[in-house]
């Protein structure tokens, strides 16, 4: 068979080839927005394929981005409102009862400022105080503690040879006092001149006493 190659045959063959080739290209090209994780191999996308500045913080997993610098210290806020008043606490446990049979603070004029188990105080003379107790007291078997009260006594602290000293003592007998359950306390002053004791003077002084 003799080949019959004409211009028309060439053009028809070329047109057929272009038509078939163009359809294959269209078939091999992926559709728009059709590429996903399944079509991308691991480590296939590298830094060179990513546009600079196109990624945002939400595109990274937590902890991958370094923390920024601390910001400047803010201004102090306004003072808060006063809190509510707290509830009252519970009462403490009562202390143990004292063991002293009697005690009291007796002023120089015989007035009782504070006392326990003291009925009255009478005068046995200048500087003599008869303290009548409401509890049994036997001076033959019991003792008494006495101490002068500094602010109203005759003791001086001028550091001179004429400093006087207050005397407060209790008697182990009734002395100038009478009756039962009576404690007698005598007060006075020691006079000094030029550093030497001149004598004792009976004088009313305030004092504290206690019967253990």
In this prediction, residue 129 carries a pLDDT of 97
- SS3 assignment for the chain: CCCCCCHHHHHHHHHHHHHHHHHHHHHHCCCCCCCCHHHCCCCCCCHHHCCCCCCCHHHCCCCCCCCCCCCCCCCCCCCCCCCCCCCCCCCCCCCCCCCCCEEEEECCCCCEEEEECEEEEEEEECCEEEEEECCCCCCCCCCCEEEECHHHCCCCCCCCCCCCEEEEEEECCCCCCCCCCEEEEEEEEEEEECCEEEEEEECCCCEEEEEC
pTM over 0.75: no
In this prediction, residue 122 carries a pLDDT of 96
In this prediction, residue 18 carries a pLDDT of 62
In this prediction, residue 147 carries a pLDDT of 94
In this prediction, residue 12 carries a pLDDT of 67
Q: Which portions of the chain are predicted below pLDDT 50?
A: 1
In this prediction, residue 210 carries a pLDDT of 96
In this prediction, residue 118 carries a pLDDT of 97
In this prediction, residue 103 carries a pLDDT of 96
CB 169 within 8 A of CB 139: no
């Amino acid at each position: 068979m003799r080949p019959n190659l004409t211009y028309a045959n060439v053009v028809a063959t070329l047109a057929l080839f272009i038509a078939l080739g163009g359809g294959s290209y269209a078939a091999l090209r992926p559709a728009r927005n059709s590429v996903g994780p399944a079509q991308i191999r691991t480590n296939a996308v590298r830094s060179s394929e990513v546009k600079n500045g196109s990624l945002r913080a939400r595109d990274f997993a937590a902890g991958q981005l370094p923390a920024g610098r601390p910001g400047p210290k803010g201004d102090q806020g306004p003072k808060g409102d006063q809190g509510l008043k707290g509830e009252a606490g519970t009462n403490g446990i009562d202390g143990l009862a004292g063991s002293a049979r009697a005690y009291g603070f007796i002023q120089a004029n015989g007035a009782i400022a504070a006392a326990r188990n003291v009925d009255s105080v009478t005068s046995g003379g200048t500087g003599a105080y008869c303290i009548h107790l409401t509890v049994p007291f036997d001076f033959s078997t019991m003792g008494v503690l006495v101490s002068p009260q500094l602010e109203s006594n005759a003791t001086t602290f001028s550091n001179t040879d004429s400093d006087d000293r207050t005397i407060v003592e209790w008697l182990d007998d009734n002395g100038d006092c009478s009756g039962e359950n009576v404690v007698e306390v005598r007060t006075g002053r020691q006079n000094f001149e030029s550093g030497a004791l001149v004598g004792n003077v009976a004088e009313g002084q305030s004092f504290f006493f206690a019967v253990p």
